[in-house]
Amino acid sequence: MKIKQFELNHFGTNCFVLWNESTKQCAIVDPCAETTYEEAQVTQYIDEYGLEPKLILLTHAHVDHIAGLREMCERYGLPVTMHADGSKLLRQAEAYGAVMGFMVSSMEDLPVNEIKDDDVLVLGDEKIECREVPGHCPGSMAYVVPSAEVVLTGDALFRGSIGRTDLPGGNYNLLIEKIRTRLLTLPDDYEVLPGHGDISSIGRERRYNGFLI
């Protein structure tokens, strides 16, 4: 599995493109482009490598992670794949966008493919495991790619930190519990690809993350 990271929008949100080398099928995780220029960075990469988008995944539906969601779904004719518990946030995207400084398209009628904890998605001949990690917000998901030994954690787990829990639907104790039981159970050498900031590893966070020691 090949992985490309893009840092987009004024919140510095990470968008990832995962792609299977043999089939060229790809998944776009958290399409959060705020401008047409940012959107072109992602689409030109997809075109350059001749990739075929098959999945558009959300780690969660906070507005900084979905700023370019409708545009990507419509461009590639795909629904958004996400946990059902994030639907309320998704439908409130315009309202939250106005507060957070994002001009976000309405998501009211956006097609949704609902997933749940322990579902397994297929991309080419590789698997993506879905793990629910609520606490930052309802419907937060992490995606584990065993073939690449990576986990995309959204805003649940960062390098040296964790997601904030003071927003609606946040729950600190639940987040810590889910990080311990659903993420730190992975091997130490798994890379952590977070929703913001630098890449880390499970081992590093287990040993040095002050919220988890």
What CATH number does residue 101 fall under?
3.60.15.10
Q: Look up the pTM and report it.
A: 0.96
| pLDDT surpasses 90 at 105 | no
Q: How confident is the model at residue 22 (pLDDT cuts 50, 70, 90)?
A: very high
For the chain, what is the mean pLDDT? 96
Domain assignment present for 213: no
Domain assignment present for 37: yes
What pLDDT, on the 0 to 100 scale, is given for residue 104? 87
Quick: pLDDT tens for 141-198. Answer: 999 999 999 999 999 999 999 999 999 899 999 999 999 999 999 999 999 999 999 9
Domain assignment present for 85: yes
Q: CA 86: distance to chain centroid? A: 12
CA separation for the pair 178, 113 (Å, rounded): 23
What pLDDT, on the 0 to 100 scale, is given for residue 213? 87
Quote the number of domains for the chain: 1
Task: Please name the residue that has the structure tokens 């946990």.
Answer: 83
Domain assignment present for 158: yes
The residue type found at 213 is: I
| pLDDT surpasses 90 at 90 | yes
Q: How confident is the model at residue 19 (pLDDT cuts 50, 70, 90)?
A: very high
What pLDDT, on the 0 to 100 scale, is given for residue 130? 98
Determine phi and psi for 122, rounding to 5 degrees.
-120, 130
Domain assignment present for 23: yes
Domain assignment present for 106: yes
For 97, residues 6+ apart whose C-beta sits below 8 A from its C-beta are 63, 67, 103, 104
CA separation for the pair 42, 58 (Å, rounded): 16
Query: For residue 32, what are the domain limits?
Result: 2-208
Domain assignment present for 143: yes
